[in-house]
Amino acid sequence: MIKINQKRDHPLEHKTECLILACVEEKKPSGTLKKLSDELAGVISHTFENKRFNGKPGQALLLNSNGKASNLLLVGIGKSKDVTAEKICQAAGTAAKLAEQSKFKSIAADLSSFEGIAKGKVGFYGELAGAMAEGVGLALYHFDNYKSRDEKDDPPSRIEKLTLLTASKSRQASIEKSIARAEKIIDAVHTARDLISHPGNTATPTFLADHAKKVARKNKITCKV
């Protein structure tokens, strides 16, 4: 499972192979996104002006960068007033898949765009941060148990690390809690997907019972089969 952490850092000061920027739908970038674009010689603004990207849900665009982030990955989350945790989760998944196809090992996601979206909504920022982590983790699920592959000739490319970036010290505790919750959800979903991906002659009643006991022991709970 991907390793997820958080760091207080300016997005353009953080060294990473790929920086994910969640962008609301608009005619031209504003707020934090515009500031980032200005620091990068207008590269983000140009994509809006050329109508290559405008922040609509489902959109994703990978750009080269001359900053500490080698690449920028713009992902659309729709109009600000319509943003939900579910939409962030979906957008994060879209971004994660494109990043993995590009063979990045480590990625980061800037959460600064959530400040305006969550303004006046208690707990919503943490919810959106958790959705970002959850969306990436769920999208990067793989079940390779029965695939034959010569690892030396064709090694699979996997993203190993996600860092959530915030400039706000006061947000860090909330983000940490959101990551912990997201990791539990990711682990549970991955476990369920693993079980249903096994063929019937492997996932026998005994196999499932033994797995249930193993999970119970790990989490220090009682299990009767």
How far is 105 from 102, CA to CA, in rounded Å?
Answer: 9
In a domain, 218, yes or no: no
The mean pLDDT of the chain is: 92
How many CB atoms sit inside 10 A of residue 58's CB?
12
State pLDDT tens for residues 100-153: 999 999 999 999 888 888 887 878 999 999 999 999 999 999 998 887 766 555
In a domain, 185, yes or no: yes
In a domain, 109, yes or no: yes
Domains: count for the chain: 1
In a domain, 225, yes or no: no
State pLDDT tens for residues 84-99: 999 999 999 999 999 9
C-alpha count within 13 angstroms, C-beta hemisphere, residue 119? 7
Q: What is the pLDDT of residue 150?
A: 63
In a domain, 81, yes or no: yes
In a domain, 29, yes or no: yes
- Taking residues 57-83, report their average pLDDT: 93
Range of the domain at 152: 3-198
Predicted structure pTM score: 0.90
In a domain, 65, yes or no: yes
In a domain, 217, yes or no: no
Indicate which CATH number applies to the domain containing 183. Answer: 3.40.220.10
More confident residue, 85 or 219: 85
How far is 179 from 164, CA to CA, in rounded Å?
Answer: 9
State pLDDT tens for residues 4-16: 999 999 999 999 9
How many CB atoms sit inside 10 A of residue 20's CB?
31
